[in-house]
Amino acid sequence: MNDSPDDDLIRLYEIFSKELTDYLALAEKTGGRSVEFQAAYLYSRVEGLLADSIKMLVCMRVMKDHMLPGDKVIEEPDDFDGRYLKIRFRLPRKMPRKIENE
């Protein structure tokens, strides 16, 4: 039985997500306050240098899905060339605990 294209995209999303999470964890260990990350770099770490438009959209979605409060989009391409998406991720990556009303 062959995997559907959706299964392939889900698997690719997971691979991009792990690569980004691992990179951010490594950057966090350096003690920096933030790191800027470009979609082209994430894509090349997983898929190589030649960008496929559908796979690049998945890469961009992963980057945006990993944004937390305080992160900032530095560059967002207006011509659908996702290689140039750049996001500044604040470090450390821990989510602040919500204060519950008692």
Domain ranges of the chain: 5-90
Tens digits of per-residue pLDDT, 18-60? 999 999 999 999 988 999 999 999 999 998 877 788 888 899 9
Rg of the chain over all Cα atoms, to the nearest angstrom? 15
Helix axes 39-47, 5-29, angle to 10 degrees: 120
Cβ atoms 42, 19 nearer than 8 A: yes
Q: Which of 54-58, 66-70, 98-102 has the highest mean pLDDT?
A: 66-70
Distance, in Å, from the CA atom of 17 to the CA atom of 99, rounded to the nearest integer, reads 28
**pLDDT at residue 2, rounded to an integer:** 57
The verdict on domain 5-90 having CATH code 1.20.120 is no
The burial of 50, by beta-carbon neighbours within 10 Å (0-12 exposed, 13-18 middle, 19 or more buried), is given as exposed
User: Does residue 102 register a pLDDT over 50?
Assistant: no
What is the distance in angstroms between the CA of the first residue and the CA of the last residue of the chain? 53
